[in-house]
Amino acid sequence: MKRLSLLLSSAFAAAFVATNALATETINGPVEKQPINITAIIMFFVFVAGTLALTYWAARRTRSTSDFYTAGGGITGFQNGVAIAGDYMSAASFLGISGMVFGTGLDGLFYAAGFTIGWPLILFMIAERLRNLGRFTFSDITSYRLEQTRIRSLSAFGALSVVLFYLVAQMVGAGKLIQLLFGLDYAYAVLLVGVLMMLYVTFGGMLATTWVQITKAILLLAGCTVMVLLSLYHFGFDPGALIQSAVDHHPRGVEMLKPSKALSDPLNAISLGLALMCGAAGLPHILMRFFTVPDAVAARKSVFYATGFIAYFYILTITIGLAAVTIIGMDPSYFDAAGKLLGGGNMAAVHLAKAVGGNAFLGFISAVAFATILAVVSGLALAGASAVSHDLYANVIMKGKATGAQEMRVSRIATFAIGIIGIILGLAFENQNIAFMVGLAFGVAASVNFPVLFLSIFWKNLTTRGAFIGGFLGLVSAITFVVLGPTVWVALLHHEKPIFPYEQYALFSMTIAFVSIWFFSITDKSARAAQDKAGYAEQFIRSETGLGAAAASDH
């Protein structure tokens, strides 16, 4: 009852924020020149109520740290595959990629292909080993044979950096969606998302996050399939006619079938490709999902199912973006007086839902899109909170002596802090394309988490010194390139020219990370280095035989 009362009171507080903001906007005038859609709002609240009910159900079954972080390891391979696909069906995928196709053309296809290609890397190389060696977080693997304090600290800060970059994209997408749907000020919309995210993670943990992901993944796939079919109806169910119409009506014309200026530079394109392909194997909220299944076989099945769902979903989002070019792009009612799309370029898919299915379908898609964002930000917050509580607090600060209750308490405090930071960053990056922002997050994951994780599993000569220094340089260089690049230095800080000229940076930061790890490992002659190398044989046997999960919990 205590959990229920806290959950309901927090939900009422979030509703009060929305209602108060709506009243304020009604008095001062709506932000967007678009009438409030009552049908969509009703569906929105129905979906939010449903996800809160799932959270309450999960809260009653979350009694231990294992329940909180990994749903007790009781998720099946198929269920986990759908949940992993749900993590990928984020605001960046549904809203960002369709919006990118609508705005620039081929760039959206490049992002979709990059997101999908990363999965075979996980499937064939690390999925089973992750499950065999880990317990709660991927830091359990990177620190398996290396010195705990330094490696867990590095992994935790790397995970937090990725989580915050990724979280920004989701907050922007949710904020714009609610702003369009309710007519709220963007700041109030982001605040509402942050509050609900904290509720899901604090009370429901991984079990709630997983089932919210599964539910919204099924609904989003169904909704996108219907949207594509309704859109194809306008073109006689001829995909060729749809593509030709998009080319004829796109502002770039036939140039939309070529990379935009941002990707025409080979170094930018290579950097983005590396980030999207390798970054998938370093995303902490995705890697955590391999610990929710009972064994390595289920982990492999998870990725197999997820790959199929993800590939199908990206085909749908590309088609949605192409359809929006003609159906939305030629209708002036979806644009403001300045000729800009209402709600921004990320809202092309939402507008298309109304154009092909009316207000009821708009309500359904908007509500599912919001549930999509809530599920993803909840997974991100949980991954970030586990890095703080399990890696930093329990294993670095308390040296493995923290109780489960203490660890969960720290995790919930960390969730609150991450939510506040996410709200602040969501406000700062309001006008960025969300698929682009996720590309930056993948770049950090590919520069820090992936090199250390990959080499800790496959390279016997890796040492603690090499992993720590190389991973740290990868993290610092990645964040430095983002800050000094066009995204922050020019767009956010309003300097005339960037110091680092490329929007995408993974080629440079990954090179720094891998070369540094290699150099500082082979030159390490310390006693710790000998111990690190000697432990590789035992780690390899456990990763292959499936004995690692129990061993990792005792490590």
Report the pLDDT value the prediction gives residue 135, as an integer from 0 to 100. 67
CB atoms within 10 A of CB 63: 12
Report the pLDDT value the prediction gives residue 318, as an integer from 0 to 100. 93
Report the pLDDT value the prediction gives residue 355, as an integer from 0 to 100. 92
Class of domain 2-554: mainly alpha
Report the pLDDT value the prediction gives residue 474, as an integer from 0 to 100. 94
In 3D space, the residue among 381, 377, 357, 379 whose CA is nearest the CA of residue 369 turns out to be: 377
Report the pLDDT value the prediction gives residue 224, as an integer from 0 to 100. 94
In 3D space, the residue among 306, 288, 277 whose CA is nearest the CA of residue 446 turns out to be: 277
Report the pLDDT value the prediction gives residue 200, as an integer from 0 to 100. 66
DSSP reduced 3-state for 339: coil
Q: Give the tens place of pLDDT for each residue, 180-200.
A: 777 778 888 888 878 877 776
CA distance 137 to 470: 20
Residues near 424 by beta carbon (within 8 Å), at least 6 away in sequence: none
Over the Cα atoms of the chain, what is R_g?
A: 23
Report the pLDDT value the prediction gives residue 19, as an integer from 0 to 100. 36
CA distance 1 to 9: 12
526 CA to centre of own chain: 39
First-last CA distance in the chain: 37
Report the pLDDT value the prediction gives residue 405, as an integer from 0 to 100. 79
CA distance 288 to 73: 11
- Locate 34 and state its tokens: 């678009």
Per residue of the chain (555 residues), what is the pLDDT tens digit? Answer: 444 444 434 443 443 333 343 333 333 334 344 556 677 778 778 877 887 787 778 777 776 777 776 666 778 889 888 988 888 787 667 888 898 899 888 788 888 888 787 777 776 677 777 777 766 777 777 877 888 889 888 888 888 888 888 888 778 877 777 777 777 788 888 888 788 777 766 666 777 778 888 888 898 999 999 999 999 999 999 999 999 999 998 888 888 888 877 777 888 888 988 888 888 888 888 887 878 888 878 888 888 898 899 999 999 999 999 999 999 988 888 888 888 888 777 889 989 999 999 888 888 888 887 777 777 777 778 788 888 888 888 888 888 777 877 888 888 888 888 888 888 888 888 777 676 777 778 888 999 989 998 898 888 999 999 999 999 999 999 999 988 988 888 877 888 899 999 888 999 999 999 999 999 999 999 999 999 888 877 776 666 665 544 444 444
User: What pairs with residue 341 in β-bridges?
Assistant: 335
In 3D space, the residue among 432, 366, 130 whose CA is nearest the CA of residue 441 turns out to be: 432
